[in-house]
Structure 1
Amino acid sequence: MLHASCLAAYLRRPHDLRSPAWAYFEHLAVCVDAAWDLSTLSDLALPHVNGPYPPGYPISKKLFERINRASAADRRVNEVLLDVVNMKTHPSVLRSPRFLAGVGRALLPAAAHR
């Protein structure tokens, strides 16, 4: 879906169709890089994988664990997470203050019952 929106944005602007579409590929790289980052974060969490781990990996792993837990408790968190996993939305939305506040709210009842 993100790939299609990149292509649509590119095609809405006038371009010489005989020349390489570098602007499109540069825009698309943002989506592809995000997909790889998300995929490798999950891969690195597997017990048999031993890295190399990117800077900030422990924090990212803990955050993603909390997002996963919150997605089981909150429909909106789940919808946003599924949109990211299914490449409908860029993963940067998972770091937005509004989304993270929703994750925190979803986890509050779970923390109160421990």
Structure 2
Amino acid sequence: MKELFKYPSLFIVIISGAILFSLFIQKSISKEDDVYTLKINEYVENQWYYEVYIGPKLIIKQEIIPGARGKQFFKSKEEARKIGVLVIDKLKSGIMPMISLNELKRYDITFKK
């Protein structure tokens, strides 16, 4: 724990960023007319990613599998869609849209451990 306070300015920047992101998300989801849209795109064959929009505004462009180690792409459009829908569900619930390894396993996402 002492090591964490060795760089107090870095700690403050990280905490401030998390708070600002949380406020941005809360402000975005508090409007009744906000509509989330999920768009699935393909880089090359068998490499997919998703984008999440609020109205016309892009808020998340997830080019790699979140929570997985290294730069790994979704292997199918369906896998990208599953996690994109999960992220939107979390945003609508006011939850930080982070994806865990357990969620990747639960949704049968193909990735290297």
TM exceeds 0.5? no
Higher relative contact order (CA 8 A, sep 6+): 1
Structure with more of its chain in strand, by fraction: 2
TM-score, structure 2 normalization: 0.34
